[in-house]
Amino acid sequence: MLIFTFLGLIGRLFYIMHIKSPVYKAKALDQWTNDYEIPARRGRILDRNGMEIAVSMNAYRVDLDMVTLRESLINKKMTMEQLAAKLSTILNTSTDKLSDTLNRTTSNGIPIKFAILARGIDKPQVDKIKELNIRGIIISSDSKRYYPNNNFLAGVLGYVNLEGKGVSGVELNYDKELSGTPGRTTYEADRNSTQLPYGNSDYKAPVNGKDVVLTIDENIQSIAEKAAQKALTDNKAKSVTITVMDPKTGEILAMVNKPDFDPNHPIKDSKGNAVKSVDDAVKNIAVQSAFEPGSIFKVITAYAAMKENVANENSSFYCNGSVKVDKHPINCWDLNGHGAESFVDIIKNSCNVGFVQLGLQLGKGRLGYYVSLFGFGQKTGIDLPGESIGIVKNPEKLTNVDLATLAFGQGLSVTAVQYLAAFNSVANGGTWIRPHIMKQITHSDGNNNPVVDKTFTDLGKKSILDSNTAATLRTYLEKVVSLPTGVGHNAFIDGYHIAGKTGTAQKANPKGGGYESDKYFSSFAGMAPADDPKITLLVSVDEPDPSNYYGSQVSAPVAKDLFSQIFNYMIMKGQLSLDKPAN
């Protein structure tokens, strides 16, 4: 009996020490080894002049060693739910959400050993957590994303989530460059998670994220922000979008969507009120939403007519207020009609009847070709997420009525960046250039000097227009603004040589079947100086007060204010010289 008992003990020891040794050794190492990720500091987002628009500030994170925490709560005779209730008031998080984290298990139902409780919290919160005096709660350094100017450029910047990952805008599109590479620390610890002085340890330092320098000019952006907010309020509009670009480089100098949100608190709008939908609040309308352009599209039809020799300065038209196409009446915006007109007149007067005639003369094949040539129905490839492609009908399926209305910008939808890319090709003499928001990606060397890692070069340049025809068209568009009878005269500034086009489009009924009678989309597209444009812009006002909704009344005055202030700024910086300086 003794021999058999002894042999049994020997066999059991052999099984434990040799057969099961790797399993027990792994469990032991897992118990006394702590392994933590060290987050990298997220890179900054700067404007073209080096102004900080998004930065990362020092903060704290709270992690949980669940094994030690459970033991500590048993000793304190406290439940997970009671702890969740205490932490809820400190972290401003629901008790249920914290309770889910504290009681989380693996897919096999085994309680987890490690959890992230909170990131990016402030010192006062950390101090209150320390006062609980509960072992297993690990506090370490972290960073918190901060936007110094609150809702400034919010739609473009986007925001980051609690894990420090970009969710929308630049933060999402350049998340990889901004995030950097996290580090890691591994060390042996006692039962209280205190590092053993002579235990094995390993440390890998994090590599901080790089800085993203935008094409945005903080001063021009500020001008556009104020103008958009004023237009939103004055016109009791649903939304206002303003985009300002350099037509020769494709650089976006300003991009504004109002109303907007505060990326420091993305669940709230710029006034601090809770938003109904975060996705809607953070949407960059200029990139992600398409609209019927209305009369600003006449720029494209006019170029096509000129290039195809369908019309020139000697061409004549007559408008009596409406025209019938296949027995379908199409009205001009001026129901009294414009009478006898030249080609320049129908552009200056924004005459629908004249452009219906141009569309029918061009035919669906030729007009469809220029719609595609200018890039409509195609993504620009702008370096911002969620770009809409817009809607363009197959030219072969167009009826005569479709063709007639397409000529004055009805029956298709475009995005603001899509339209400006096309408009820029007229402004710069014929070259399509991809709109973009990133100028450079940089990092600092050991002496804190900036080092350029990447410059935006994916411009996709292609010559699409005849330079002489584009130059002639610019002179016609200048008359739209400069002549007292031009529909864009409310954007006129003496000496500035502004060329542009107004647009007023009825909004399509979202339930289908025609257009809504009292909802409009009012726009103004402009460039200046007309002979050699340095600036292009698009002002769009969605659903202005229906008592005053024409683009000439709503958007052109906004453009006038923008050109005046932007050119004052550019003159001050020595970037521009005009015939007559601003007052």
pLDDT of 583: 39
| Cβ proximity of 140 and 63 under 8 Å | yes
Catalytic residue among 72, 289, 295, 425: 295
At 160 the three-state DSSP class reads: strand
Cβ-proximal residues to 74 (8 Å cutoff; 6+ apart), any chain:
none
**3-state SS string over 401-467?**
HHHHHHCCCCCCEECHHHHHHHHHHHHCCCEECCCECEEEEEEECCCCCEEEEEECCCCCCEECCCH
- Counting residues of the chain whose pLDDT is more than 90, the rounded percentage is 64
Asked if pLDDT for residue 323 goes beyond 50, the answer is yes
The answer to whether the beta carbons of residues 451 and 460 sit under 8 Å apart is: no
How far apart CA 137 and CA 445 sit, in angstroms, is 36
Cβ neighbours of 281 (radius 10 Å)? 22
Query: 581 pLDDT band (50/70/90 cuts)?
Result: very low
Spatial distance between the Cα atoms of 495 and 580, rounded to a whole number of angstroms: 5
Q: Which pair of tokens denotes residue 63? A: 């992690």
Looking at this protein, which amino acid is placed at residue 289?
S
Q: What confidence tens digit (pLDDT) does each residue in 69-111 have? A: 888 888 888 888 989 898 999 988 888 888 888 888 877 777 8
Say if residues 90 and 124 touch (Cβ distance below 8 Å): no
What's the CA gap between 257 and 248, in Å, rounded?
24
CB-facing half-sphere around the CA of 153: CA atoms within 13 A: 30
On whether the CB atoms of residues 24 and 16 are closer than 8 A, the answer is yes
- pLDDT at 38 exceeding the cut of 80: no
Least confident segment among 36-45, 115-124, 275-284, 333-342: 275-284
| Percent of the residues in the chain that have a pLDDT greater than 70, as a whole number | 93
Q: Which domains does the chain have, with CATH numbers?
A: 58-144 (3.30.70), 218-572 (3.40.710.10)
Instruction: Report the chain's mean pLDDT, rounded to a whole number.
Output: 90
In total, the chain counts a number of residues equal to 583
Q: Is the overall model pTM greater than 0.95, yes or no?
A: no
Report the candidate in 95, 188, 237 with the shortest Cα–Cα distance to residue 544.
237
The per-residue pLDDT for 32 is 67
The answer to whether residue 295 is catalytic is yes
The values of phi and psi at residue 499, to 5°, are -110, 140
